[in-house]
Structure formats: C-alpha cells, structure tokens
Amino acid sequence: MPRFDLSLYLVLDPDQSERSGGLMETARAAVAGGVTIVQLRAPQWKKRRMTEAARALRTILAPKGIPLIIDDHADVMLASGAEGLHVGQEDLSAEDARRLISPDKILGLSAGNLMELRGTRPELVDYYGVGPVFSTRSKADAGAAIGIAGLQEVLAEARHPCVAIGGITKENAPQIGAAGADGIAVISALCGQPDVELAARNLLQAYRCGI
C-alpha cells in the first residue's frame, strides 16, 4: 500500500472555510465525502494557532488514516505530529526541509512548471504539487496558469506522483484525470462550499471518470 493517496487533496484555508462552518467542520465534511489527504495552509496565522489547529485536525484525520500535511512550517509539522510538510519554491529548500524532518515523513514540493521541476532534487521529495493549472483566486502570487498542456509536460518528466492544483472544479477535474495526474488539490472547490461533503463526492467522481 502506498503511504498516501493524492486522489482528492484538500488544501484547508481558514478564511475560505469560515463559510462552510470553520476549519474543523470543513475537514469533517470533506472526510465524509472522500478526501484522501489534507493540507493545512494558513500563511496568515501565527505558528501557535496553526499548531493547535493541526493537532485538532489530526483527531479527525488520523483515525481514518488520512495524512495531514503542513504548509511551509517544519516546526509546526513536528510539534503537531502531522504526517508531512509541503514546501513552495520560496519556502525552505527540499534539502533543508529533509534535514529537519525524518525520511518517514511525507515531503511535497510545488513545481509551477517544467523549469521548476527540473530544478528539484527528486531523491528528497515524495510528491509534487503542480500548477496553477487553471487560473485561481485563492493565491495572489500563484503565477500564470500552465493549462493541461503544461501539466502534461511536467507529468512526462516527474519521477514522483503529481497532484494538480489551481482553479480545479468538478467541471474540469475529468481533464486532470485524463492528463494522467495522480490527483486534484483544491481550496475553493471545497472550502466555503455550502455542502462540502457533496462537493467532495462530486469532485472525486469527476476526477476518477477522467482516469
């Protein structure tokens, strides 16, 4: 059994989650709808608050065997006992991240395009987050969308599983599955949705029907 399943990757954003009952309620409903992995991404939060939220999230996720990934902060990951860390191109380097976290922890790295992928050291990484594939309103500095063609370029060279991110909806998720990505990562298609459980079920089904 692989250590993690990227099929439906929820990136929990505290602000957007407010509209769907808050962080915990959004996570609970998303788990009921079938999310396979969850990231806590709270660039606006202080580390203490993030660590407390991560611990609370683990009480929902760990019993279901769903890994919790912490965005950017290795110390928050270690303190909360989360299963992994995700780093972007301007965060800790994969080398430094691996120095801090043990080999059994999951390390994810953002690769915005083929050039960024080629700049990574695959032996240090467990998966890549690739995108934005489509334009997104959830990350101001996300950069230009690479489209399905850009995603396919990355997939052709990546030596690890790749989860596509950026502007993914149930309407375009089949294209991501058909392109051969290992999963879809979403913020706004889950956080803030009126029925998060149903939204998760629909997204997973849409992604899988493209595979």
What residue numbers does the annotated binding site for Mg(2+) cover? 72, 91
Min dist. Cβ of residue 135 to ligand TZP (A): 8
| 3-class SS of residue 128 | strand
**x/- contact string, 62-101, with ligand TZP (CB under 6 A)?**
----------------------------------------
With CB under 6 A as the contact rule, the residue among 167, 177, 183, 192 that binds ligand TZP is 167
Please list, residue by residue across 128-156, b when 16 or more beta carbons sit within 10 angstroms of its beta carbon and e when fewer do: bbbbbbbebebbeebeebbbbebbebbbe
User: Which x/- pattern, by CB under 6 A, does the window 117-146 give for ligand TZP?
Assistant: --------------xx---x-xx--x----
- Compute the least distance from the CB of residue 146 to ligand TZP, in Å: 10
Strands 68-71 and 37-40, sheet pairing: parallel
| Of residues 33 and 132, the one with the C-beta less far from ligand TZP | 132
**Options 68, 187, 203, 206; binder of ligand TZP; rule CB under 6 A:** 187
Q: Which residues make up each annotated binding site?
A: 71-72, 91, 110, 136-139, 167, 187-188
Residue 207 CA to residue 173 CA, distance in Å, equals 5
CB burial readout 87-126, b (16+ within 10 A) else e: bbeebbebeebbeebeeebbbbbbbbbbebbeebeeebbb
Q: Which residues bind ligand TZP (CB under 6 A)?
A: 11, 131-132, 136, 138-139, 142, 165-168, 186-189
